Structure formats: C-alpha cells, structure tokens
Structure 1
C-alpha cells in the first residue's frame, strides 16, 4: 500500500521570505525614497515609463504580504513587523513626495496624476488579482518576475505620490481620491494574501473530516472583515458607474455630431451629465438653424433624452488669416510690455524724486531707499549719518507719512562708520 505524503505549502522558506520582505531595514527605506522621487518626477512630467521604473523597485509589496500572512496564521510578530514597516514606508513616501512637489516648478496636475484620483471597481479587481499573483510569486523559491509584475499592476507607488502632490497643492479632492486608491490597493493585497495563506494552510493540513475555512459559518471577526470590504468597494462601484455613463454619453455625442451636423470639425465638447447639458464648439461649414433643430429633435435617438444641446459655431480660419491674427496678438503683447516698462520707469523716477525730498527733511539723513515687500507694502529705509533721538525720529515719520500717505512703513538704520 502506497502512502501519499501531504504536500506542505507553508514551507519555512516561504515564511522566512515573507518575514524578511516585511521587516523594516535601512536598505529598503533608501530604495523606497529613490522610488518615491522617481515616481514623483514621472507623475510631474507625465512620463509613464518613469513611473513604471519606480514601481519596479518599490518595496511596498513586502509589508502588505507580511500583514496578510500574519493575520492568516495569527502570527503577532509577523503582523507587527509588517505593520511597522508599512507605516514607516507610508510616512516616508508622503514626506518625500510632498517635499518634491512643494519645490517643483511644475505645479499643474498632469494626466498621470489625475488618473490616480478617481478609483473604480476595476482598480479593486486589479488589486485583488494582483494580490493573488503576489502571494503565489512569494511562495516560489526560484527568481521570478511575478512580484515585480504585481508591483506594476497594483500601482502602489503612484497613488502614494499623488497624495503627496495633493498635500503640496492643497487639493482636497485629489487627496481623497488618491488616498482611496492607495487604501484599496493595500486592503485587497492584504486580503488576498490572507486568503491565499489560509488556503495553503488548509491544503497542507487537510483531512477528510476537515472543512474549507470559507465553507463554515464565519466568525464575528471574519464577518466584520467582509463588511469592511463591502463598504470599501461601494464607492469604487459608484465611481465606475459614473465613468461608464460619461463614456457612453461622450460616444453618443460623437455619433450625433457625425450623423446630424454634417462636415464640421468638433473643436470642444463639454458635457454636464448632472445638469444634462451638451455644449459643442464646432468650425467648418455653417450649420443652418433647421439642421440644429433636427439634431435637437433627434437627441432621444442617440440615448440623450432629457439633454439640452447648445452649439457655438466658429468661422474656419485660413492660414493667411491665422498668421495675421498671430501678428495682431504679438503686437498687443509687445505694446502692453512697452506700456508696463514705461509705467515702471515713471514709478522709479517718482520714487527717486520722493527720496530726494525726504532726504532734505534732515541733515542727519545720509540716504533714502524705497522698497516693496511681498505684500506690496511701501517701505522707506532711511540711513542716518548720526544717531537721532526717538522724538526726532517720530517727528520725521509723521512728516513723511503726512506728505506721502502711500508709504506704509519707515525704518531707520545707522550708517556704517569706516575707520
């Protein structure tokens, strides 16, 4: 009789690897900091390749797998290691990305940043299946490309950097969206690691009498986890529904333009799905009023019932007219610059004249300088040849402010005496 030995899926090598990857150390923190700055630059300049490079070297997956494994095995030590590492890495990620975006001269939100601010149910699915692949990849002894692939798919690094951008820019909407995406990724990677280790444990020690842990009645803690997961998924489903609806409406509007308005160029499309208003800016052949009325009457035909249609027609500009328009715009800009330079020169002359008049108020005044601070306050600095009494200084300040009310502050400094 042949006795088949039960395969052990929870090997000591697997658990040691999970523990090592989830342990906080200086090497992983340095790599994380480098990855954060690389990802921040990629988001800032809208470079997908740079962002992928940052995700490849990111060590954020390790602590998440350690937390999921620790929860599944009730291993407090492993759970504590993973939690401490994750919290430390999140703090460093937010600090580094916030510092970068605070000092970056590129302050606009690129498409790569905006893409991380509206999570949908598809992001939940990516995180879930990525977590499955991650825990399987961690179990393999040989070198493999599963974990780096999961790091790219689940995209832990970009939303963390987007949170930093949101903090630096003071954008609450982006902050909430990117934080939600980061939370989704973390929770579902932990969840799939938890489920994966539970299944591996059952496969390693199962008998005929045993039951799958997910076929028995859930405990209170497991019920609470399921409830939290459902609550977490709901906003992503609503967001996905809005995105799908907007995409369908945009496609219907495109069909409406092609089929109803004829040979025109769609310059700008603005669809307000809440107010049910479609604003189109078109150029090309002039659209007569009858064609516009027909298009409005056929909105229902394109599943746009209840929408109102507004069309703005722009005359098609030929190349010669376009060049002439560019010259006119440049002339206006140059004229305004010239006027600004003249105004600055006139203001400088007036300030110089005023400084000379202030200097004549007292023989103790060596020089007068007019400056403006960052709040456009007018400040006059008076350099003295010799010390003046407080009474005399106050009298001078009153004289100056009575004569020049626009001066906000008068400061006195002592002239340096050279030996």
Structure 2
C-alpha cells in the first residue's frame, strides 16, 4: 500500500503561489477591507462575515508557519513580505474610511473586538490547525470557509483602523492584541502541523520522536507565548465574572420583583452597583430594604442596589423614560471618561515638572488611588542617591505638590 504524502511538492508550490502579492489579491483585499469596515460601522454581521470569506490574509500566515517548519526561506520571505504589505494597506484604507465616515460611534461589532479573551486564542489555534490541514488537502486557493470566519483576521485589523481614526488608545490596544493573537497562533499551528506532516512523510526513517526536551530557544519561545496569553486570560476572567453577576441579578429580579415592571437594569462592574428602574406600587421601601439585605443570598456580596421607582406607566411613557435613563447613564460615563483624561493630562504635566527638579531623575510615574485625593509617584533615578539626598528631594517635591503622599525610588537599568 502506497504511503500517503502530506507535504507534497504540489502543496508547497501552491502555498508559495498563494502567498505571493499580486494585483488580484490586492483588489480582493481592498474589497474585503471596505466591506469589513462598513459592516463594523453599520453593525452588520452579514457584511463582516462576507469580508472574512474573501479576505486573502490567511494564506501568507500558513506560508510563514510551513516555511519555518521545513526551513524554506523563500516561502517565509513570501509570507512575511505579503502579510506586512497587506496589513499596512488594510490599516491605511480602514483608517481613511472611518476618518471620513459620518458614523463615528463605536458599534457593538467594534466593541466586541476590543476585549480579546482566551477563547479567541483557542479559536485561532484550532482555526490554524484546520487551515493547514485544509490547505494541504485542497487545490487552488480554496481554504475552508469556516476557518476564514473563525479566525476573523480582517475585522480586528479594521477595528485597529477605527481606533487610529478616532484616537482611542484602549480600542487600539485591544483590537491590535486580538489581531496579534490570531496571527501568532495561526502561524504556530501551521508550523506544528507542517512538522507533523513532514514527520509522517518519512515512516521508514528513524526519528528521535516528536516529543523531546525543548531547547533553550524553544523554552524562551514558549514562555513568550504564555506571557502573551496573560491579558486574554484576565479579560476572560472579567467577562465570566460579569456574566455571572448579570445572571445573579436576573435571578434576583425574577424572585424579588416578579410582580413589578422593570424599566431599566444596569450593572456597573467598576463601582459594584446595580441600578434598577421599576414602575408600579408593588415594591415599597420596606421590601426594597429587605432585598438589599438579601443580596448575599444571590451571590452578590459587595454589590450595592439602587432602586428608582416611578408610577405606573403606559408603553409610550416607559419608552421615553428608558431613553432618558440611557441618556443619563451615557452622559455620566462620558463625564467620568473626560474626568479621567483630564486627570491623566494633569499628572503628565506634573511628572514632567518633577523630572526637571533634579538631573538625577530619569523619569516620573504617577500612581493614583480612586478612593483618595492623595497620590504616589515612582521616580526612576539615573544613579544611586544617598538616603539624605532622597529625603531632600522628597521634601522639595512635597513642598511644591502637597497632594503627593508617597515617593518611591527605583534605579534605571543600565
């Protein structure tokens, strides 16, 4: 029985051809960029899926992973040059679109791509695995459509463009991190897939085995990947906690306010506050007080409950109040955001002035506390100072900035 070949010359040649940058791929890429950008802008899931299906971003990543596995520098160069060019074109095009778009708000489709979690890592991992297997089995440029949808390279890249156009650093970091996760783990799974297929191609030869002690470079590489996963794990933890809290609040409402009409339900995870707006006369103050005392029974210890009760309303009035409450919450969130931005600007100016107080200061970092007006700063020194020199510097700083409560020193790494 003839041994099945996985990494055939035809497959390598086809992967090389698919990873080359050509006019056809650039046209397809441009179409995918604008379809994804419009879909994100208009909150259209169908348009975003369409952009994923026609996006040519997958092939160069598979080429890079396969090239690394079989030590094919030509294939690696093709993939790297193509993906860099495609990313640059995508960012320019999507940033230009969002800059001139009259719809400047962040839609739900944009927001979901600014908080990547460990599940996005798993999707990229399994998507890359399916992608390299599908590419080795299929002809021409047909990559499994489900892989293109699952790995979702184009939407987070266009979200980065939106972040640049809107000047939102948090969105930029979140969407950029999501795109980076997808890119790295698609390349990684393509690498391991090609390694395994190459190993299966040579059953008659003696192999040291797939499992072996990792080298020093491999240990560093694995450690780097694990560090890369930390933000996604933390984000997933926050998402799970938020989902659990929402479920517990829903259970509380179902049990304690079953005879009451709930107009608005809002959970603020930062302040641990549950805001409920209800209508009708069923919930009196005594009942509301009892519910507040029973929050721990619904696993909501640490949360506070605010209940706004209004008279019985008709459907039209309820809608008006709902819109009004939403508007008030939005205004409060915007005011808090503006306050934080002003505080950061003030701290930045203060840090620069403190840094100029001594030539021995390399940089100053402010550490604010949300529950006090006092602040702490960390001063990075160019050289080591004596205890008396540090004390004199602290006195000088506190004389000018009484709001600074604590000063810590670290030595600049040479």
TM-score of the two chains, using structure 2 as the length reference: 0.74
Cα distance in 2, alignment partners of residues 13 and 55 from structure 1: 26
Indicate if the aligned counterparts of 1:263 and 1:285 stay in contact, CA closer than 8 A: no
Q: 1:119 — aligned with what?
A: 116
1:261 aligns with 2:245: no
- Map of 1:308 onto structure 2: 304
Match of 2:179 in 1: 182
CA distance in 2: counterparts of 1:54 and 1:316, whole angstroms: 47
Describe the superposition over 1:91-134 as per-residue Cα deviations: whole angstroms up to 9, x where unpaired: 00000000001111111111111111111111111111100110
Contact 1:261 1:295 in 2 (8 A): no
Partner of residue 297 from structure 1, selected from 289, 293, 299: 293
After superposition, the Cα gap between the structure-2 partners of 1:64 and 1:288, relative to the gap in structure 1 and judged at 3 Å, is same
Structure 2 matches for 1:160-309, cutoff 5 A? 160-207=157-204, 209-213=206-210, 215-309=211-305
**Distance apart, 1:146 and its partner CA:** 4.8
> How many residues in Structure 1 have an aligned counterpart in Structure 2?
322
**Are the counterparts in 1 of residues 120 and 178 from structure 2 also a CA contact under 8 Å?**
yes
TM-score (norm 1): 0.73
Q: CA–CA distance in 1 between the matches of 2:65 and 2:18?
A: 13
User: Which has more radius of gyration?
Assistant: 1
Deviations 1:260-302 (A, max 9, x none): 1232222222223343222222223341111112211211111
How big is the shift at 1:221?
A: 2.5
* Structure 2: stretches of 5+ with no match in the other structure: 325-414
Matches of 2:31 and 2:236, distance apart in 1? 33
Query: Which residue number in structure 1 is paired with residue 384 of structure 2?
Result: none
Distance 1:286 1:30 in 2: 62
Uncovered stretches (5+) of structure 1, i.e. residues with no partner: 330-419
| 4+ aligned runs moved over 4 Å, structure 1 | 142-146, 319-323
Match of 1:80 in 2: 77
Q: Following the alignment from structure 1 to structure 2, what is the Cα–Cα distance between the partners of residues 112 and 94?
A: 18
Q: CA RMSD in A?
A: 2.2
Counterparts of 2:226 and 2:213 in 1: how far apart (Å)?
18
Aligned-pair distance for 1:157? Answer: 0.6
CA distance in 1, matches of 2:35, 2:187: 25
Structure 1 Cα separation of the partners of residues 167 and 262 of structure 2: 34
Aligned-pair CA distance for 1:321: 6.9
Q: CA deviation at 1:143?
A: 6.8
Matched, 1:135 2:132: yes
Q: How does 1:323-338 map to 2 (within 5 A)?
A: none
2:370 corresponds in structure 1 to: none
Distance in 2 separating the partners of 1:141 and 1:276: 52
**Per-residue CA distance 1:53-99 (angstroms, 9 max, x = gap):** 11111000011001101111111111111000000000000000000
The 3-state SS of whatever aligns with 1:281 is strand
